[in-house]
Amino acid sequence: MNLKEKFIWNFVISISIICILWNIWNLYSLNSNANTLYNKFLSEYKNVGTDKNLEKKVTELESNYKYRDDIKFNISSDPSDLNRVVSMDGASGYKKRRSLYANSIISRGNGRFTAIMNYKDKTYNVEKGDSIAGGVIIDINSTEVTFRKNDKKFKYNLSITNTLE
């Protein structure tokens, strides 16, 4: 080997040794940092996962969702009945389109209530004593409308307990 080849080999070996030593130092510092953090975790966070506020909130949410899951709803009409949306000739149509029914009750304060009633596809705002569909509204309270026609009383109950089992 001549002098030039020896120099190149020595230079390559020197660079290789420097690179190996540099990688060893980086791995050692990464390992020492990881061990330091792991020891800190073991010493300071022995009760990980025992956040009392979080545990209380999760329990509260679970009980709330359990209550909601237990609620049963009664549907008073068939939701797949297309006669409610589309009017077809010769079809019987939706029964409430031809009859009187209550949609909602509005509280006006001081014990005064207004009911929103539908009769023959028209909406009416009625109060106690008003006449509609050949009868008279005899009482409106926060959950119920009482209607009298031909000496018969009809009650339209809009309370939430009416729709729950």
More confident residue, 161 or 156: 156
Structure tokens, 58: 């999760």
| Tens of pLDDT, residues 84-124 | 565 544 444 444 445 787 888 888 777 788 888 888 878 88
Say what the pLDDT of residue 163 is. Answer: 47
Mean pLDDT of 147-163: 78
Domain limits, the chain: 3-70, 98-163
Displacement of CA 66 from its chain's centroid (Å): 14
Owner of token pair 């420097």: 18
Pick the closest to residue 131 from 100, 97, 105 (CA basis).
100
Say what the pLDDT of residue 94 is. Answer: 47
More confident residue, 8 or 53: 8
Burial class (CB in 10 A: 0-12, 13-18, 19+), 163: middle
- Residues 6 or more apart whose Cβ sits within 8 Å of residue 125: 114, 115, 116, 117
| Tens of pLDDT, residues 12-53 | 999 999 999 999 999 999 999 999 999 888 877 766 666 788
Q: What is the CATH number of domain 98-163?
A: 2.30.30.830
